Amino acid sequence: MPILHLLLALLLAHKTENVILVTYDGLRWQEVFEGADESLFTKEQAAARKAYGRDAADARRTALLPFLWGTVAKQGQIFGNGPKGSVARVTNDKRFSYPGYNEILCGFGDARIDSNDKKPNPNVSVLEWLHGKDAYRGRVAAFAEWDCFPAILNVARSGLFVNAGIATVEGPGLSEREKTLNQVLLATTWPHADQRSDALTFLMAQAYFERTKPRVLFISFGETDEWAHEGRYDFVLESAHRIDGYIARLWEEVQSMPAYAGKTSLVITTDHGRGGAPEEWKSHGEKIPASDRIWIAVLGPDTRALGERTNCAEVTQSQVAATVAALLGEDWGAAESKSGKAIADAIGP
């Protein structure tokens, strides 16, 4: 092979062997691209205003999400800044969680999924499909703050490892750290029977990641949505900032592990948007059309550093599943014809 062709082949060679998919529940594109909205702070929220308030939008968003803007948006791509001509949206008309996670994980909106009830998902997710392949079997895992995920990922059928809500990590060979985290989970008074904290979700996922080395890891965080429903803008921002920090820690760890460094891609998104100021930001759903606007970020060795996307084609939530698969060199669309296509710009040269 002529040397030029060899160089070209090396340049174009697909590098991603592992994918980490992370979701922030209901984190608005407004906070992601413009940072804290000054008008939404109450008098009592001076500490949060001090922490996240800045004059310029670029400074506000970097103060809120330093990893997303300092690393992901510099080395990868982020879609969804509507005012700059990049629209990302959900295609399901429900604009709440289960329909959104179904669309993210399966690649299409499904009118049958019309509640957050824990009904086993009739659809096969890209995670279940990957887990069915020899190369991924037993190496796909999901951790979630919300205990609806065993239903969303239909564990009875899929056999996926899903740890969600007030559930300990089970199985042989647990590390000391995992055992301790299980004890913390069981020793805590949880105000909601169906949710645990994002902090514990992260720590449990991280400990599991270190022990089992999954090829596909999905982590779903939820507090950004919970606090918005309660009207606590300060805690929405703090939760978002913490989640950004969790992802930064995991990414740093990935770069220190030979099995992952330079071979791992990261996809970050949200299940739905929310309404606008001054009141509808607390909510989302069928009655709030603006909650269809989301954002999607991709970082990894196969993703060009195009940064914050502007004036580009619209992308949809239904493209996330195929994008995750394509990053791994797999074709989800061939298995699920209803799925949106991978985001072409984000998956290769």
Binding residues vs Zn ion (CB under 5 A): 26, 225
Using CB positions, name the residue nearest to Zn ion.
225
Helical segments of 19-175, H only: 29-34, 46-52, 57-64, 66-67, 73-75, 97-106, 126-131, 149-152, 155-158
Q: Is 321 exposed, middle or buried (0-12, 13-18, 19+ CB in 10 A)?
A: buried
Q: Which two tokens stand for residue 197?
A: 């904290």
Rank residues 179 and 192 by Cβ distance to Zn ion and give the closer one: 192
Say which amino acid occupies 141.
Answer: A
Closest contact distance (angstroms) between CB of 26 and Zn ion is 5
Rank residues 128 and 225 by Cβ distance to Zn ion and give the closer one: 225
Rank residues 280 and 345 by Cβ distance to Zn ion and give the closer one: 280
Rank residues 178 and 225 by Cβ distance to Zn ion and give the closer one: 225
Tell me, letter by letter, the H, E, C secondary structure of 237-293: HHHHHHHHHHHHHHHHHHHHCCCCCCCEEEEEEECCCCCCCCCHHHCCECCEHHHHE
Rank residues 131 and 272 by Cβ distance to Zn ion and give the closer one: 272
Rank residues 303 and 317 by Cβ distance to Zn ion and give the closer one: 317
Rounded Cα distance between 274 and 262, Å, is: 35
Closest contact distance (angstroms) between CB of 289 and Zn ion is 16
Closest contact distance (angstroms) between CB of 306 and Zn ion is 31
Say which amino acid occupies 230.
Answer: E
Closest contact distance (angstroms) between CB of 284 and Zn ion is 6
Closest contact distance (angstroms) between CB of 272 and Zn ion is 7
- Write the DSSP string, 73-101: HHHSEEE--GGGT--EE--SSS-SHHHHH
Rank residues 26 and 273 by Cβ distance to Zn ion and give the closer one: 26
Return the bridge partners of 19, or none. 216, 265
Rounded Cα distance between 319 and 333, Å, is: 10
Closest contact distance (angstroms) between CB of 176 and Zn ion is 36
Closest contact distance (angstroms) between CB of 197 and Zn ion is 17
Closest contact distance (angstroms) between CB of 186 and Zn ion is 27
C-alpha angle 69/149/91, rounded to 5°?
A: 60
Return the bridge partners of 142, or none. 162, 218
* Kind of pairing between the strands at 264-270 and 88-89: unpaired
Contacts of 281 (CB under 8 A, 6+ apart): 28, 30, 37, 40, 228, 233, 274, 275
The alpha-carbon radius of gyration of the chain (Å, integer) is 19
Rank residues 225 and 302 by Cβ distance to Zn ion and give the closer one: 225
